[in-house]
């Protein structure tokens, strides 16, 4: 009977503990998960709960028996022969000292053991998630060796914690300052201002950074941030006219851009001179009554792009389009030369703007060597230089093709592989509601339009891409076209995702098909109440209809389904709001 009661009690305790830990995890802000590996969290939920359970159950039972046994024997000894009892208890101080020493030192050994278990679980979790990539690149033997080394190694120091750039930043400003109507939106955290090299340097040492000051003036009243991207094209004409400069054409719309090759010494020197001048450019600081400060010190400057000189990001457009000359066929090319040039271009920005986040546009890229591929080679060089894991990352990874279907984990393999080692950042492929002239409507595949061909009647918007990027790439930073950020039909979803990014959202909207069975599940605690709301069209109907109100919460997770009547069978979008 004792065993039966104990087992029932043990299982009830461990169930309650595990549910409580899991419920607590779901309610933690996103930043908590940025700083911890998946395996570490799995160890906490599964193994650590078991360890605590053993202390509570076995420890209490065995400890009680031991204490009562000692007290009982001591009482009998003193009752029968006090002198013999004193002699028998002489070793007690020595035993107590030994127990104290063990107690004070054992926690370090147990901590090392738990850290080693967490590291093993983290490696296993990452490898299982990336198994397709491991097999695609024939890395099975390498990963097997890593697993063996991790199993035999001493616990490594914990990975450094680091902050990830977070929020929605407006793009599509056409090299102009934003207006207040955009910046004042509560879900807009700032703007990403993109400027061409020839725009800010029309001739050698002739600079014009006025639009940067104009942008900061608009942002300051709202406290919003600036991310700055200086594109290495089109280049000032003096660069390509300089004798001895090696040039090639980067394919682009129209004839493309004539630019120095990425490793051209004169081009690299001028790229470094540009950012030295930019870092020292004086701009008014509204927090100091308009006092002029160097741009590198302005409190609203949040981050900068690190475009490699002579390249449209770390990629080869000629390979992607079949137009122009591939980089690896140019005179002077070698893998080491290209990697060194990109790293030098990156340092041109990073070294002059300390304390800001920086990102490198990184894509698939190949040359005439098949193993390892060029992009794998470059990633290894960048990791060694910028995010080796020994310190917080000095460089993030970026792509500009976010949609509800892209980028794929293969196309953005570097972001997928390194998402726990550095920060990842994505830009929308194009505006959902107002694609740029000349672009294909690539994101139309992400949309279901109630009126065919009319994008304003779509019931799916940018949140489809945001959710995918958030899940697949641990992405917290999104560049979104201003037309989408300003569209009233997307306002609720941007606000909801903005809350989620900063740790206080409940649930993103869920699409439904009439008559289907789907689930909305939200973390909850006893005493909370929810409203379930619905709307049919996403962009044309900005109001939500409350279907059920004041629904009581379950102890840890509350589930709303079609089939139990809490949600109607109408098609459209549903969401759950926690009532204040």
Looking up tokens 């309650």, which residue turns up? 16
pLDDT at 158: 47
pLDDT at 189: 94
Return the bridge partners of 207, or none: 201
Regarding whether 184 and 83 lie in a shared domain, the answer is: no
For residue 87, what is the domain's CATH number? 1.20.1560.10
What pLDDT, in 10s, does the model give residues 295-340? 999 999 999 999 999 999 998 877 766 777 899 999 999 999 999 9
Q: What angle do CA 139, 143, 145 make, to 5 degrees?
A: 120
Is pLDDT larger for residue 358 or for residue 81? Answer: 358
The closest of 336, 150, 303, 301 to 219, measured between CA atoms, is 301
438: left (phi over 0), alpha (psi -120 to 50) or beta: left
Percent of the chain clearing pLDDT 70 (strictly above): 65
Regarding whether 370 and 247 lie in a shared domain, the answer is: yes
Distances (CA, A) of 200 to 57, 186, 225, 235: 70, 31, 20, 10
SS3 40: helix
pLDDT at 274: 98
Regarding whether 177 and 134 lie in a shared domain, the answer is: no
Regarding whether 33 and 94 lie in a shared domain, the answer is: yes
Is pLDDT larger for residue 557 or for residue 342? Answer: 342
571 occurs within a structural domain: yes
What pLDDT, in 10s, does the model give residues 59-82? 666 777 777 877 887 788 788 888
Integer Cα distance of 42 and 101 in angstroms: 31
Range picked from 24-28, 390-394, 426-430 for highest mean pLDDT? 426-430
468 occurs within a structural domain: no
| Mean local confidence (pLDDT), 569-577 | 57
167 occurs within a structural domain: no
Q: What is the CA radius of gyration of the chain?
A: 30
- Structural domains in the chain (count): 3
484 occurs within a structural domain: no
Regarding whether 445 and 365 lie in a shared domain, the answer is: yes
Buried b (16+ CB within 10 A) or exposed e, 152-178: eeebeeebeebebbbbbbbbbbeeebb
Regarding whether 366 and 235 lie in a shared domain, the answer is: yes
Regarding whether 143 and 176 lie in a shared domain, the answer is: no
Is pLDDT larger for residue 256 or for residue 437? Answer: 256
- Among the candidates 385, 419, 454, a domain finishes at 454
Q: How far is C-alpha 557 from the geometric centre of its chain's CA atoms?
A: 25
Integer Cα distance of 461 and 377 in angstroms: 36
Buried b (16+ CB within 10 A) or exposed e, 372-385: ebbbbbbbebbbeb
For residue 202, what is the domain's CATH number? 3.20.20
361 occurs within a structural domain: yes
Integer Cα distance of 393 and 353 in angstroms: 15
Non-local CB neighbours of 87 within 8 Å, separated by 6+ positions: none
480 occurs within a structural domain: no
The closest of 415, 539, 515 to 470, measured between CA atoms, is 415
Regarding whether 141 and 62 lie in a shared domain, the answer is: yes
Integer Cα distance of 251 and 318 in angstroms: 6
316 occurs within a structural domain: yes
- Among the candidates 454, 480, 495, a domain finishes at 454
SS3 459: coil
Asked whether the predicted pLDDT for residue 413 surpasses 80, the reply is: yes
Regarding whether 111 and 199 lie in a shared domain, the answer is: no
Is pLDDT larger for residue 529 or for residue 452? Answer: 529
Confidence of residue 225 (pLDDT cuts 50, 70, 90): very high
| Mean local confidence (pLDDT), 79-89 | 80
Residue 321 belongs to domain spanning: 172-454
Regarding whether 180 and 141 lie in a shared domain, the answer is: no
Backbone φ and ψ for 120, nearest 5 degrees, come out as -65, -45
102 occurs within a structural domain: yes
Confidence of residue 290 (pLDDT cuts 50, 70, 90): confident
Asked whether the predicted pLDDT for residue 27 surpasses 50, the reply is: yes
Backbone φ and ψ for 462, nearest 5 degrees, come out as -60, -25
Is pLDDT larger for residue 292 or for residue 510? Answer: 292
What pLDDT, in 10s, does the model give residues 194-221? 999 999 999 999 999 999 999 999 999 9
The closest of 29, 43, 67 to 501, measured between CA atoms, is 29
The closest of 403, 423, 302, 405 to 362, measured between CA atoms, is 423
Query: Which two three-digit tokens encode residue 45?
Result: 């939920």
Regarding whether 122 and 190 lie in a shared domain, the answer is: no
Range picked from 41-45, 203-207, 352-356 for highest mean pLDDT? 203-207
Integer Cα distance of 552 and 529 in angstroms: 5
Regarding whether 111 and 176 lie in a shared domain, the answer is: no
């Amino acid at each position: 009977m004792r065993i039966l009661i104990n087992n029932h009690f043990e299982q009830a305790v461990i169930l309650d503990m595990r549910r409580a830990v899991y419920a607590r995890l779901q309610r933690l802000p996103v930043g908590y998960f940025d700083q911890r590996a998946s395996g570490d969290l799995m160890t906490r939920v599964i193994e650590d709960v078991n360890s605590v359970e053993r202390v509570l159950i076995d420890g209490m039972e065995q400890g009680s028996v031991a204490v009562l046994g000692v007290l009982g024997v001591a009482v009998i000894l003193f009752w029968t022969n006090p002198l013999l009892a004193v002699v028998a208890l002489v070793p007690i101080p020595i035993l107590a000292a030994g127990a104290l020493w063990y107690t004070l030192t054992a926690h370090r050994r147990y901590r090392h053991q738990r850290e080693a278990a967490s590291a093993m679980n983290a490696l296993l979790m990452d490898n299982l998630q990336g198994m397709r990539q491991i097999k695609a690149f024939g890395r099975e033997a390498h990963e097997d060796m890593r697993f063996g080394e991790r199993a035999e190694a001493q616990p490594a120091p914990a990975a450094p914690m680091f902050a990830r750039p977070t929020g929605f930043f407006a793009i599509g400003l056409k090299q102009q300052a934003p207006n207040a109507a955009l910046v004042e939106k509560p879900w807009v955290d700032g703007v990403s201002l993109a400027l061409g090299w020839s725009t800010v340097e029309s001739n050698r040492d002739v600079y014009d950074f006025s639009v940067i000051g104009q942008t900061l003036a608009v942002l300051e009243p709202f406290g919003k941030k600036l991310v700055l991207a200086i594109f290495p094209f089109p280049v000032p004409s003096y660069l390509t006219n300089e004798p001895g400069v090696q040039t090639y054409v980067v394919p682009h719309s129209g004839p493309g851009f004539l630019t120095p090759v990425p490793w051209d010494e004169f081009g690299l020197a001028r790229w470094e001179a540009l950012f030295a001048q930019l870092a020292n450019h004086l701009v008014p600081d509204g927090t100091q009554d308009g006092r002029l400060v160097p741009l590198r010190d302005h409190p609203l400057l949040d981050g900068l792009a690190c475009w490699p000189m002579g390249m449209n990001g770390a990629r080869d457009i000629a390979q992607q389009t079949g137009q122009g000359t591939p980089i690896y066929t140019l005179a002077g090319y070698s893998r080491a030369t290209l990697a060194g040039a990109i790293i030098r271009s990156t340092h041109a920005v990073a070294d002059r703007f300390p304390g800001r986040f920086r990102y490198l546009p990184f894509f698939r890229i190949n040359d005439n060597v098949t193993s390892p591929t060029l992009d794998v080679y470059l990633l290894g060089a960048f990791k060694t230089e910028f995010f080796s894991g020994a310190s917080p990352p000095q460089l993030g990874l970026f792509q500009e093709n976010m949609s509800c279907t892209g980028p794929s984990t293969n196309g953005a393999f570097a972001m997928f592989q390194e998402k726990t080692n550095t920060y990842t950042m994505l830009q929308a492929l194009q505006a959902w509601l107002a694609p740029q002239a000349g672009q294909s409507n690539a994101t139309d595949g992400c949309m279901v339009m109630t009126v065919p061909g009319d994008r304003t009647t779509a019931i799916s918007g940018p949140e489809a891409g945001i959710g995918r990027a958030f899940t697949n790439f641990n992405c917290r930073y999104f560049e979104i076209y201003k037309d989408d950020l300003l569209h009233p039909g997307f306002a609720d979803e941007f606000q909801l995702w903005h809350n989620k990014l900063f740790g206080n959202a409940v649930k993103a909207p869920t699409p439904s098909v009439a008559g289907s069975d789907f689930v909305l599940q939200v973390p909850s605690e006893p005493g909370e109440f929810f409203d379930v709301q619905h709307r049919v069209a996403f962009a044309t109907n900005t109001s939500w209809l409350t279907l059920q109100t004041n629904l009581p919460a379950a102890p840890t997770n509350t589930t709303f389904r079609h089939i139990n009547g809490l949600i109607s069978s109408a098609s459209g979008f549903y969401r759950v709001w926690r009532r204040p």
